[in-house]
Amino acid sequence: MLKKGQEITTTIQSLAYGGQGVARVDDFVVFVRDALPGQKINALVTKKRSSYAEAKITEVIEQSPWAITPLCGHFYDCGGCRFQNLDYQQQLNSKSQQVKDLLERIGGLQHFEFYPTLPSADIYYYRNKMEFSFARKRWLTEADMKSGPIEVSDNPVFLGLHARGFFDKVVDIRECHLIPPPAIEILSSIRKIAESSALPVYSTFDHQGFWRFVIIRSCVFTPDLMVNVITSEFREEIAEKLKHELISAFPQITSLFNGITKSKSSVAFCEEEHLLSGNTTISERIGDFRFEISPNSFFQTNSRQVRQLYDHVVKLAEFDGDETVYDLYCGAGTIAIYISRLVRQVVGFEAVASAIRNANDNCHLNGIENCAFVLADLKDMLTNLNQVIETFPKPQIIILDPPRGGMHPKTVKAVLTLRPEKIIHVSCNPSTLARELAEFCAGGYVLKSVQPVDMFPHTAHVETVALLLRSD
């Protein structure tokens, strides 16, 4: 029987959803941090539960046959990537296996067509948005600790991505291979401006300080580039310095903002937006359609791969041009607009007012007249279902794209009450997807196919598209 503190020797068999290695010791499951499939390791058991244990590697005896050298020098410290040291095809294989296992184990689902994970066209520099955090504490690498005494500043300013497993320490990054290269040069300039300002970095411990976040959005299909430096208050002299130094050094910036947040949370979001230079929005394309993106707008992070995702939705729907489609959790209307020319009408439902405004603006921008967007709390949809049906025709197809936490049970019931011919479920969380697909199957639907899509190479995240058909 395994015990906490015990040393074990084992081989990693696979990767669990979330990224931990999976091993078995005397038929007992052990999850191992930072492990790769195929590694033979010595590990220390750090936690023991009735059905599993957790361990950390103390020695790699034999390296994985799929191990590769990571491109980024920050890889082993930074939380931005998880699997840059794992061959990309093996990443795809692992994601396929994770999704299939969760659907079978959690949902009890069987007898459906399962397709291998669709690879991303780009596996580096694919993100159109990155959020960076200021911090007073820098993550010390192994090399830092071996180099001797660490110099401590009276006003420490560090800017980068969070260290793995730490919300209060950042890796003070000098390179990143997830977002196009100009971002790191811009980040370096902002760091220098913050250092020279003598204003302190905000801390979530005492909720004091000025410098908070930097958000960089770099479009793929247009030349637009947005930079939003988020601080705790607006200071005219800082705003002028940001404008002068950043626009002089980086004339390719088309939108420069100083966002303000009073929130105590660690979410990179601003309640006020001060436009320092350029346009109030940037523009990105998905296929033939253009979308305006404001500082707080949600937009799919992988511009190239989102088209592949939406094209698969279109393929599954097999539109004949006469359908009414309900798009639940429609956000800024990207799916609704993408399919609008293929159907009679799309009705989008969304709980965030700003997203509804963005959706209507994007329809106007693209000359789309057959989309309607409804501001609604989707968990109350069942209560107001008669009103919805009186206003809009009943749908032949419903497209679902819920947040990571999944659908409210009442929303699932509302969809079952509407009884569309097809349900196309897009999910960023295969665990919640498994539960929801099981509920739909219990409610009179048959799961026909499942297609994972890799939107985020080198991470543990995977998008999944599932097709359900009404059984009668």
Evaluate whether residue 59 is within a structural domain. yes
pTM of the entire predicted model: 0.93
352 & 212 share domain: no
315 & 452 share domain: yes
Tokens of 302: 């992988």
Evaluate whether residue 171 is within a structural domain. yes
Evaluate whether residue 362 is within a structural domain. yes
- Alpha-carbon span 375 to 446, nearest angstrom: 30
320 & 248 share domain: no
Tokens of 189: 């300039």
168 & 153 share domain: yes
Helices (H) and strands (E) in the chain, counts: 10, 24
pLDDT band at 384 (very low <50, low <70, confident <90, very high): confident
- Alpha-carbon span 382 to 396, nearest angstrom: 18
- Runs of H (alpha helix) within 279-333: 303-317
pLDDT tops 70 at residue 153: no
Tens digits of residue pLDDT in 309-366: 999 999 999 999 999 999 999 999 999 999 999 999 999 999 888 889 999 999 999 9
CATH number of the domain that residue 446 is part of? 3.40.50.150
CA 405 from chain centre, in angstroms, equals 13
pLDDT band at 152 (very low <50, low <70, confident <90, very high): low
For 88-112, give the DSSP string.
HHHHHHHHHHHHHHHHHHTT---S-
The total of other beta-carbon atoms located within 10 Å of residue 72's CB is 19
Tens digits of residue pLDDT in 68-114: 999 999 999 998 999 999 999 999 999 999 999 999 999 999 999 99
- Alpha-carbon span 229 to 256, nearest angstrom: 8
Evaluate whether residue 77 is within a structural domain. no
116 & 225 share domain: no
Domain boundary among 241, 259, 286: 286
Evaluate whether residue 79 is within a structural domain. no
Is there a contact between 386 and 313 (Cβ–Cβ < 8 Å)?
Answer: no
Mean pLDDT of the chain: 94
Tokens of 83: 């699997």
Q: Which residues are catalytic?
A: 428
Domain boundaries, position 203: 129-286
- Alpha-carbon span 457 to 67, nearest angstrom: 15
349 & 401 share domain: yes
248 & 367 share domain: no
Evaluate whether residue 73 is within a structural domain. no
Evaluate whether residue 152 is within a structural domain. yes
pLDDT band at 169 (very low <50, low <70, confident <90, very high): confident
